[in-house]
A and B are shown apart, each in its own frame.
Chain A
Amino acid sequence: MFEALILVLAPLQAPQAPPPLDPGMARFQALVATWSEAVAVDLRFEAISKQDGTWRKFRGSLRAAKPLHGAMNVEQNDAPNFELVADGTRVAALDRSNGRAFEYGRDLAVLTGMLPLYPVQAWAGVDAPASVKVTRIESDPPLPLVEVLRIESAEQTTTLWIDHDDRLVAAEFTARFGDEVLEQEYLFTRCEWSAAADPADFAASIPAGLELVEDTFVDFEAGLLAVGDAAPEVVLTGMDGARYPLESFRGRTVLLNFWFYH
């Protein structure tokens, strides 16, 4: 069994060039170069991630072209989960998992907020990393994973596991928002990226069902109830901890204001 394992792993022992003086930054730059030299990029991935004790399946695509135009679509457990559109001046995102919509200036941090796609973020020229560190995994027999790339910036740490063929195998993402810490781990079952030469190709290559939006991202009123619809039977929890069925307010006019502070 052990010999068989060595045989399987043997072809993966690609000879590694001696590390340059600054291996971390060189490795990072090499990765980013794929993007920074590209006029447009195309990325598709499938991954699994353990969140709240449950494994979730993710699948998505990202298409982006310079200057910042792009669309990203992520499915979780085969259901639409996250959408993002960048139109050159702003980035709008819709997170279906918690019903939140976001709008950002040119800040692409939301990309890495959802996925460990740090090269994309660097390509967009925001949030330059404070440090980049590459750790080579030495073992005998050698493991399929050869490098761990750790990228740190003020608010985020992204760790990427990369195999001999430069394939992204796994990623760990930690973001700090004040006192809150968001940690996500992804195991990539498939990750392909390529650079398209011509932005026109990019525009033509947007997958069916995804449209590049120029001004507005999504109709935030599309999912609301219609005028005349009966309100759903929900139970409201007051600040006093008591529970109030919405029905109990029948006979009175209710202005329901949905808001958040943070």
Chain B
Amino acid sequence: MSFSIKKQGQVAVVDVEGQLIVGNRQELKQKVLDELEKGEKKFLIDFSQTGYIDSSGLGVLVSLSKKIREQGGELRLANLNDDLQTLFELTKLDTLFQISDTRERALESF
């Protein structure tokens, strides 16, 4: 499992490889907060290479979304597979986040 952040235009794109769970959520949180501190405002998390997410991982996404909004920025999500879509629907987090089918559509939506 790993997280990488690359700049695409004005957007910091985060790739989540593997699981986003209690054991690694802080790593993702810290990486995004570091970018936020450097002045990045637009964030996209791409889940195309993600296995599963547990409640801690979902919680970190909620927390990051709040912190980014507080700094005048935006967090959007892309490429949820069927399992992740189900998870977001069960928890109604699909109503809290702007979610795109593809990275390209998400980037265009900013």
Specify whether A and B are partners: no
Name B's A-contacting residues (CB within 8 A): none
Name A's B-contacting residues (CB within 8 A): none
